[in-house]
Chain A
Amino acid sequence: MAECGASGSGSSGDSLDKSITLPPDEIFRNLENAKRFAIDIGGSLTKLAYYSTVQHKVARVRSFDHSGKDTEHDHEPPYEISVQEEVTARLHFVKFENTYIEACLDFIKDHLVNTETKVIPATGGGAYKFKDLIEEKLQLKVDKEDVMTCLIKGCNFVLKNIPHEAFMYQKDSDPEFRFQTNHPNIFPYLLVNIGSGVSIVKVRLSSVERVSGGAAVVETEDRFEWIGGSSIGGGTFWGLGALLTKTKKFDELLHLASRGQHTNVDMLVQDIYGGAHETLGLSGNLIASSFGKSATADREFSKEDMAKSLLHMISNDVGQLACLYAKLHCLDRVYFGGFFIRGHPVTMRTITYSINFFSKGEVQALFLRHEGYLGAIGAFLKGAEQDNPNQYSWGENYAGSSGLMSSSPELCPSQRARSGTFDLLEMDRLERPLVNLPLLLDPSSYVPDTVDLTDDALARKYWLTCFEEALDGVVKRAVASQPGSVDAAERAEKFRQKYWDKLQTLRHQPFAYGTLTVRSLLDTREHCLNEFNFPDPYSK
């Protein structure tokens, strides 16, 4: 995907037009101590990653052992809460359109204070074109990294660290999104990346024995092999779509497709047989020949119908090939990534349908919540190999992350009103690596939550309202927990606004952060409180 809008040498007149109207410090947060950058430049979107540290208060509890002491001292509290300043490592990912790249780079350069970084790993088709610009603006050397390697690294990382990262999409079920619990052993799996073209990759874990410091160490490494592909992918959809409908933008094409009737353009089984083909078990409304009707008639076809037909054509073809490869390699899970999907429901639906059809339900089509970021995550990990990020556990920070489909025009017209769309993902490094509780019989099927709010609409309404109503109380407590602080009230108000917005997002898009549970609502609240330095509102 080497098609990019802005050229490397944008004049300053251009960048004024493309100035970011959203306050940039809300997008590029914690830049002062940023180190380790990575960038993934695609055909139209850029993803920038950086690692930074966030200083915030953490409430630590120290409990005292009074058992042996004499009773005179038993007025002493059994525990003590001390608030300390701590530093958490956080990964930031920002997604924005290529047209803003220069303005963003300028902003970053201006705010970068402490950094020893010399190098920025870059991946994606656009890394070529913007190499000079990046080197000039950020004064960093660009290290080109292979796209697929980054994608796989990113994919493995999110599947391991982010709960409910993968999901199935069934348009007519309720709920539409079915999030998968993180399987402890995800390997081997098939990854189908639908970019301009399609790449089908098998990802395995392999053990490699290394000699390190005199001792033999067995390390597992993710290995992947390219097993096949197709030239009929997102580029075909976009290219043919542009030629047939004169629509230039990818998202507009998808929008047209969602409103079209492909049966006007495609030749169905019933058009040939007058009904179903019973002997072969082919139902009448299956597509026998894509665009089969567009040759014989001398009429015009609507843009919507042609776009829909194209979408089906490509989704069915990719699905079919994916199934053939999955069958050959005896895999039953296929993860889909790439710009063709972008979390668009209509695409996910057609692909899921295709996989179900061609595999007769044996293969599952899975999508990733953070699919767009995989390249940037991978590039980052490649550059940060020395820091060994894989030995830590990472968690999604709900306060800082935008959530799934926050930029989908069908769902969030209000968010579209911002100029340009900036999507964020933030991940905090946890102090200790998380492991499954050893007492669990079967960690992969264990679900700690009793209610699934993405599933149960009534319960969801109840709990969201519950948290909304409780907000006032929490704000008050937060302020009260820090009597000595001057700006506590101000910060508390910001917290209130932030958490309120999150709750509203969840009302409209309950799937935004994966499965919605009471636990995740509590976690979100905690992340928001932490963001405004209220580590423990109940401490006083």
Chain B
Amino acid sequence: FPWFGLDIGGTLVKLVYFEPKDITAEEEEEEVESLKSIRKYLTSNVAYGSTGIRDVHLELKDLTLCGRKGNLHFIRFPTHDMPAFIQMGRDKNFSSLHTVFCATGGGAYKFEQDFLTIGDLQLCKLDELDCLVKGILYIDSVGFNGRSQCYYFENPADSEKCQKLPFDLKNPYPLLLVNIGSGVSILAVYSKDNYKRVTGTSLGGGTFFGLCCLLTGCTTFEEALEMASRGDSTKVDKLVRDIYGGDYERFGLPGWAVASSFGNMMSKEKREAVSKEDLARATLITITNNIGSIARMCALNECLNVVMCDRVFFIGEVKTLHMWINLTEDKHGYYLEVEEKNINQVIFVGNFLRINTIAMRLLAYALDYWSKGQLKALFSEHEVFLT
């Protein structure tokens, strides 16, 4: 004790803290002051410093972990503030607790030295992907306070009828895992110990946030998403109907599909006519569309090459309706193969999707539309903390 799990990403640090609830009287006496104060500090606050946040709604209660019973807390803060965290560790004498700090993510390597020299703490570095896969399986197995961990959207395009429904990960393998952080990593998981990184893309959450900041002047991720929810991306993007006056039948593209993201911004008048919200939305849609596109292609490729890539879990933002506009494989027979082989689900994981309901719904719709119901977008409640 204390039991911590750290994932130090490019933009965000995710901390998981296990609060034991079954402390016996003896243990309590032996407990070191610093340990008590740490526990108190973490559990009685929801905000730490100016940027740390504990996601109370995600707290897992009455969990049994390694023979102990307790609650699992989820805390996050920007990687930017990592030095402050290390400093805090030093101030609160973490090193005297002789605890091992298990850490993963790029920062585990980057900050290893700092942890040692400033905080006098030894980091136990764990492989990121390993953690990701184990995390997802674990979290599904424990459920979410009695509810299912994984969910998907029914009728994602319809604001009124859209429902979030639970999904049971009975047979998880093989699956395609898409981790959306600052950048995106795509993994093919064949069994709990057999997986590989298929590819990745640099157009991820960091891109969305970065571009939004540059285009709209927003300062937080939440602000960017909030703006996006109020915008109209069709003013920014050039749609198929803007070029062809309707559907482009030759290619089977509907008029509402995006032909060119930000394509309308080539014109001065149009640039002057759009709002920040429109720009934010267009950025969101562009990035999500792209991630979905690549994930889908990977699912197809892996399926055909290796194993039946049965499920592609979507843990991510379903951002746009237009996401897989361009992927009309279903018209040309490739999808039939996919359907036979039962590619079902795609998981997107990552911080990007955290609170983006619109995105999630839209992604689900697009997936459904293009796959004619075969692909389901599944989401995980604890998407951010799976590692």
Give, as a whole number of angstroms, the nearest-CB distance from B298 to chain A: 7
B182 within 8 A of partner (CB): yes
A521 within 8 A of partner (CB): no
Tell me whether B238 and A235 are in contact (CB under 8 A): yes
Tell me whether A328 and B301 are in contact (CB under 8 A): yes
B89 within 8 A of partner (CB): no
A3 within 8 A of partner (CB): yes
Measured CB to CB, the nearest residue on chain B to A229 is B326
A-B pairs, 6 with minimum CB distance: A239-B265, A235-B260, A272-B106, A289-B206, A239-B262, A291-B210
Interface residues of A in 287-310 (CB under 8 A from B): 287-296, 301, 306
Q: Which of A43, A125, A128, A235 contacts B261 (CB 8 A)?
A: A235
Tell me whether A240 and B211 are in contact (CB under 8 A): yes
Tell me whether B286 and A231 are in contact (CB under 8 A): yes
Complex CA gap A296/B81 in Å reads 11
Contact partners of B329 in chain A: CB under 8 A = 227-228
Contact partners of B215 in chain A: CB under 8 A = 243-244
Please encode chain B, from 295 to 339, with 1 for each CB lying within 8 Å of some chain A CB and 0 for all others. Answer: 001101100100000000000000000100111110010100000
Contact partners of B247 in chain A: CB under 8 A = none
Complex CA gap A199/B9 in Å reads 34
B209 within 8 A of partner (CB): yes
Tell me whether B265 and A242 are in contact (CB under 8 A): yes
Tell me whether B106 and A273 are in contact (CB under 8 A): yes
Interface residues of A in 219-278 (CB under 8 A from B): 225-236, 238-240, 242-244, 248, 265-267, 269, 271-275, 277
Give, as a whole number of angstroms, the nearest-CB distance from A106 to chain B: 27
Tell me whether B263 and A294 are in contact (CB under 8 A): no
Interface of B is mostly: helix
Q: Which of B202, B211, B266 contacts A316 (CB 8 A)?
A: B202
Tell me whether B210 and A199 are in contact (CB under 8 A): no
Tell me whether A225 and B332 are in contact (CB under 8 A): yes
Chain A residues in the interface with B (C-beta under 8 A):
1-3, 43, 125, 128, 146, 148-149, 195-199, 225-236, 238-240, 242-244, 248, 265-267, 269, 271-275, 277, 279-280, 286-296, 301, 306, 313, 316-317, 320-321, 324-325, 327-328, 358
17 contacts between A and B (CB under 8 A): A43-B266, A195-B260, A227-B329, A238-B263, A248-B268, A267-B206, A272-B10, A273-B107, A274-B112, A288-B10, A290-B207, A291-B207, A292-B182, A292-B202, A294-B211, A294-B214, A313-B207
Tell me whether B266 and A146 are in contact (CB under 8 A): no
Tell me whether B127 and A279 are in contact (CB under 8 A): yes
B294 within 8 A of partner (CB): yes
Tell me whether A226 and B262 are in contact (CB under 8 A): no
Contact partners of B112 in chain A: CB under 8 A = 274
Complex CA gap A292/B322 in Å reads 24
B37 within 8 A of partner (CB): no
Measured CB to CB, the nearest residue on chain B to A242 is B265
Contact partners of B267 in chain A: CB under 8 A = 3
B95 within 8 A of partner (CB): no
B264 within 8 A of partner (CB): yes
